[in-house]
Structure formats: C-alpha cells, structure tokens
Amino acid sequence: MRVDEVMTAAVLVGHGELDALRIRHDVPVPRPGSGELLVRVRAAAVNNTDIWTRHGAYGLPGQPDALAGWRGAVSFPRIQGGDIVGTIAAVGSEVTGDRMGRRVLVDPALYRDESPQAPPVGLLGSEADGGFAQYVVVQAAQAHDMTDSPLSDEELACLPVAYGTAMGMLERVGLRDRETVLVTGASGGVGLALVQLAAARGATVLALTSRAKADQVSAAGAAHVLARDDNDLAARVRSLSPAGLAVVADVAGGPVLEQLLPLLADDGRWVIAGAVAGPVVSFDLRRLYSHNRRLIGSSMHTREHFAELVEIARTGLIRPRIAGRHPLTEMHQAQRQFLEGQHVGKILVRC
C-alpha cells in the first residue's frame, strides 16, 4: 500500500469549543517505530470523552473545575478518537510483514504494564494521537485482526471505547446470569452497550433513559425501560425488583446515586464509570455499609476484558446500533449531532 506523506486530520489545538478543533490537510503521516503499526483508518466513532477532553471537563483532585483531561494535563496539538478500525498500511521493525493489508480493530488503552489485568493509564486520542485522522500509529499487539468478522468497519468502530468500558464495568462488578441490573444513561454509547452485553449474559435489564428513546433501548434488550424524569422512579424500581437490585451499572451519577442506592439488595454492587448527570454527589454512607453494598469505580477495560470483546466482534454476537455517519472533514457536524443528544447509538466518522 502506498503511504502518503501528509494526511487529513481533526486536530485539537487546546481546550475549548468546536473552534478548538481544526480540520487540517497537511499533517505529517506518523511513522511506526519498533513493535508498532501504521493503520489507514477507515472508521472512527465519537465518544463523550472526546467532548469532555476538548472541554477539559475532568477536573483535578481538589479542583473539580480545573481544565484537564481524564488523566490530567493534555498535550496539544492532539488528534482525538479512541475508536479505530482500519487496515495495516506499514509495519515497524519487530513486526512481521504478513500483517500488511489486514483489517484491524484497535484496543485504544495505554496500559500501566504488560499484564493481562493491567489498568489503563492512557487512551489513544487523549494521551497519544488517535483515529480522527487518515492514519494512526498503534502498538502491533493492540491491533486485533478482524478479517473474518461479520461486522462492517463502521460497526466495529462502535466497539472499543463504549463496549470496552461496558465490558470493564460488567466484569469488575461480576454481573451474573439471571441477576437484575439497572443501567443508567441507557441510550448512550456506553449505556446501550451495557444493555446489549448484560442481556447477552442472561441478566434482566432495567434501563433508565429519556422517554423519547424508550423503544430503541427496549429493542436493544432491556426488559423494562424507565423514564429518568419519572417522579416515582424509586417506587417503579422497587415494584420491578422487589428483592432489591443485584447490580447498578451507572454512567450518569448525579442525584440518582443517593436516590437509588437504598434499592440495592444486601451485598448488591454499584459500578460507576461516568458522571453525565453530575460529578459531585452526596449520599448517606449508612445506606452503603449497613447492607454490605459495594461501590466500584471503573475506568475503561483491561487486556483481558478487551479480549472478550474481540471474541464478540469476531462472532458478530452483538451488532452495535449506528445513529449517524459523517466524513472526517465534517467532524464538527458529527460532534454537533452528538451534543444535540437526540441520537440512540454511535455516531461514526468515515476517514
């Protein structure tokens, strides 16, 4: 494959609004080093983290309003995009040439160490350049062959961040067959992934979302869909799960935590990975310890979790829902659609 000298990319030049994101056609194509690959990106998906990183919305310890990425300071210019599907266009030293041209799904995590359970300490698109570009350099070991997957490039691109995060949450919380799980933010990228993955495990899914999106969330596998503005939410949950919820898989946070924590069963588990409804909350600690409930923070996935996702991607067990498609040069429009919040499923960028 002929590799160009320069490429088109959406380049983030600093924290800010959409004007901090510049479409450039003169970005040098990166070169793969030892153990690395150059991927010609075919599709990438938009995630909430792209927006929060652009806004610098993650705060710092003791400074919730400080401008920062999820791991602290972000180095600019930065090419965002943690969801990458493409074909191998060049290989660095220590990588065999027979991988050239293969279709790959990239695990975007930068791990603390080499172990299968290592936690992520960075993300392509945040701590290193990502996939909102025609080319990206990735670790060869993190480019998973998808030649035989029945999923399209666009479907595969929905998986890494949203489904990886959802897989990490379900594994860390140990969701089992026939348990009842409440999913918040269920129409979003991570939320819909939680609904699909939990239902595929045989769990009963109660999904919390806005009323207009109930049908699509139900179609993804939720047994019951609850409106998040329902004044009687606690009573509704209690009637659907009289013995108490085994698990809450939460990406929203905010007031719902205090409201629904008492509805967890004894020994119930609450796993949290996001804070779209508010990052700073108060709740009664007595409702946690007196029932041996567990509150678990979850950041992305491990190599082990991602390997499970790769298997699902290869078999086509789950088909992600696509809510919009845009060319890379219309990244601003893709992010506007994301921010409007009317969609259910993932918004794709064709590179």
Ligand X SMILES: NC(=O)c1ccc[n+]([C@@H]2O[C@H](COP(=O)([O-])OP(=O)(O)OC[C@H]3O[C@@H](n4cnc5c(N)ncnc54)[C@H](OP(=O)(O)O)[C@@H]3O)[C@@H](O)[C@H]2O)c1
Using CB under 6 A as the binding rule, whether residue 333 contacts ligand X is answered as no
Contact string (CB under 6 A) for ligand X, positions 162-181, x = contact: x--x----------------
Using CB under 6 A as the binding rule, whether residue 273 contacts ligand X is answered as yes
Among 191, 221, 268, 320, binds ligand X (CB under 6 A): 191
Q: Which is nearer to ligand X, 100 or 118 (CB)?
A: 118
Q: Which is nearer to ligand X, 10 or 193 (CB)?
A: 193
Using CB under 6 A as the binding rule, whether residue 8 contacts ligand X is answered as no
Among 32, 39, 49, 137, binds ligand X (CB under 6 A): 49
Among 161, 220, 260, 264, binds ligand X (CB under 6 A): 161
Q: Where in 242-271 is the site for ligand X (CB under 6 A)?
A: 251-252, 254
| Least distance (Å) between residue 212 CB and ligand X | 7
Backbone φ and ψ for 144, nearest 5 degrees, come out as -95, 130
Contact string (CB under 6 A) for ligand X, positions 303-322, x = contact: --------------------
Q: Rounded distance, CA 157 to CA 341, Å?
A: 20
Question: Do the Cβ atoms of 244 and 266 come closer than 8 Å?
Answer: yes
What single string gives the DSSP state of each residue in 30-86? Answer: P---TTEEEEEEEEEE--HHHHHHHHTBT-BTTBTTS-BBTTB---SSEE--S--EE
Question: Do the Cβ atoms of 77 and 30 come closer than 8 Å?
Answer: no
Which stretch, 2-10, 28-36, 140-148, 207-215, contacts ligand X (CB under 6 A)? 207-215
Q: Which is nearer to ligand X, 122 or 254 (CB)?
A: 254
Using CB under 6 A as the binding rule, whether residue 118 contacts ligand X is answered as no
| Least distance (Å) between residue 84 CB and ligand X | 15
Other Cβ atoms within 10 Å of 196 Cβ, number: 22
Strand-pair category, 103-106 with 143-145? antiparallel
Strand-pair category, 135-139 with 36-45? antiparallel
Which residues lie below 8 Å from residue 67, measured CB to CB, with a gap of 6+?
15, 55, 56
Coil vs helix vs strand at 242: coil
Question: Do the Cβ atoms of 192 and 186 come closer than 8 Å?
Answer: yes
Q: Which residues bind ligand X (CB under 6 A)?
A: 47-49, 52, 161-162, 165, 185, 187-191, 209-210, 213, 228, 251-252, 254, 273-277, 298-300, 341
